[in-house]
Chain A
Amino acid sequence: MISQVLGAVMLIYLLVAILFLMAELWSSARLQGLGRIVLWLGLGLHTGALTGRWWKSYHLALGHSPTAALAGKLQIMIIQAPLSNFYESLIFFSWCLPALGLLAFRRYFKGYLGAMVALLSTLLLAYASFGVDSQIKPLMPALKSNWLLIHVVTAFLGYAAFALAFGTAILYLFQERRPRPSLPPLPLLDSLIYRTTVLGFLMLTLGIATGAVWAETAWGRYWSWDPKETWSLITWFIYAALLHARHLKGWHGRRIAWLAVLGFMAVLFTYLGVSFLLTGLHSYLT
Chain B
Amino acid sequence: MSATRIHSKPKSWLWGTLTSIRLTVFLLLILAAVAVIGTVVPQNQPPNQYFSRFGEVWGELLWRGGFTRVYFSPWFLGPISLLAANILACVIHGLPQAVKRTLQPLTVSAALTLPERGRIIWPAGIDPQPLIAATLKRELGHCRQETLPDQEIYLLERGRCRPVGPYLIHVALLLILAGGLIGKFGGVDGQLAIDQGEVAGAFQVAPRVEKPLNFQVRLDKFQVSYYEPGGSPKEFRSDLTFMQDGREVSRATCRVNEPVSFGGLTFYQSSYGAQATGPVRLQVQKGGLNQTVEVAYRRPVDLAGGEGKVWLMQVDGNHQGYGPAVLIASQAGADHPMAFWIFQNLPGLAKSPYHPGLVKQPGVYSFTVESIPFGYYSVFQVKHDPGVGWVYAGFLLLLPGLYLAFFRPVERWALVLAKTPQGTWQGRLLGASPRHREEFAARQERLLTELKRGTQS
User: A residues bordering B, Cβ < 8 Å?
Assistant: 64-65, 137-138, 140-142, 144-145, 191, 198, 201-202, 205, 209, 212-213, 216-223, 225, 227, 230-231, 233-234, 237-238, 240-241, 244-245, 247-249, 274, 278
Contact = CB atoms under 8 A, between A and B. Distances in A.
A225 B40 CA distance: 12
A141 to B, nearest CB: 4
A245 B32 CA distance: 17
A209 B395 contact: yes
B388 interface: yes
B389 to A, nearest CB: 11
A144 B395 CA distance: 23
Nearest to A222: B391
B108 to A, nearest CB: 30
A196 B71 CA distance: 31
Given A141-B255, A198-B406, A202-B402, A234 B35 contact: yes
Interface in B137-169: 166
Contacts of A248: 2-3, 5, 21
B36 A244 contact: no
A227 B381 CA distance: 21
Nearest to B36: A234
Contacts of A219: 268, 270, 381
B234 A138 contact: yes
Contacts, number: 99
11 contacts: A202-B407, A209-B398, A219-B268, A220-B189, A220-B266, A221-B381, A223-B180, A225-B43, A231-B39, A234-B32, A237-B31
Contacts of B25: 241, 244-245
B71 A142 contact: no
Contacts of B232: 137-138, 140
Interface residues of B, number: 50
B309 interface: no
B233 interface: yes
B221 interface: no
Contacts of A217: 257-259
A145 B257 CA distance: 6
B415 to A, nearest CB: 27
Given A140-B233, A198-B407, 13 more contacts: A141-B233, A141-B256, A144-B256, A144-B257, A201-B402, A212-B395, A220-B189, A220-B381, A230-B39, A233-B35, A234-B35, A245-B25, A249-B21
Q: Which 3 A-B pairs have the closest CB atoms?
A: A220-B268, A141-B256, A209-B395
B37 to A, nearest CB: 10
